[in-house]
Amino acid sequence: MSVLIAAFFSDARAERKKTDNWFSSDKYKHFTVSAFYSAGTSIVANKHFDIEESASHTIGFSFTLSLGAAKEIADFHSRDGTASLKDLVWDLAGTLTGILAASLVL
């Protein structure tokens, strides 16, 4: 799974060096990965650990945004300093979309 995520984000640094647009393949990746993680975490917490729905959504939301923030902190401390507030906004949008999708399933 880690290799898949690393491959998914591998071109992000090269793309962001040029510009940090609001709409790009990098932002799409932030959105989709965040949606997938938040929905998946919420559903797993509810179905496999018998955590009630509202608490499972909180777990999915918190876990996913923590990952997004950790990635941006790592980007900030990288040699290129490629942290982006726009990436965090797309992480938030994806996270909320994933929680909405999970609420339709649960």
Read off the amino acid at residue 47: K
Q: Is residue 15 part of a domain?
A: no
* Domain extent for 62: 25-105
Could you read off the pLDDT of 59-84 as tens digits, one per residue? 999 999 999 999 999 999 998 888 99
5 within a domain of the structure (yes/no): no
pLDDT exceeds 90 at position 101: yes
Count structural domains, the chain. 1
Let me know if residue 12 belongs to a domain: no
State residue 4's pLDDT score. 47
User: Which pLDDT value is given to residue 80?
Assistant: 82
Summarised one tens digit per residue, pLDDT across range 21-63 is 999 999 999 999 999 999 999 999 999 999 999 999 999 999 9
- Give the integer Cα–Cα distance in Å for 41 and 85: 24
d(CA 97, CA 33): 11
- 98 assigned to some structural domain: yes
Mean pLDDT of the chain: 89
pTM: 0.81
Q: What 3-state DSSP class applies to 93?
A: helix
Spatial distance between the Cα atoms of 73 and 33, rounded to a whole number of angstroms: 17
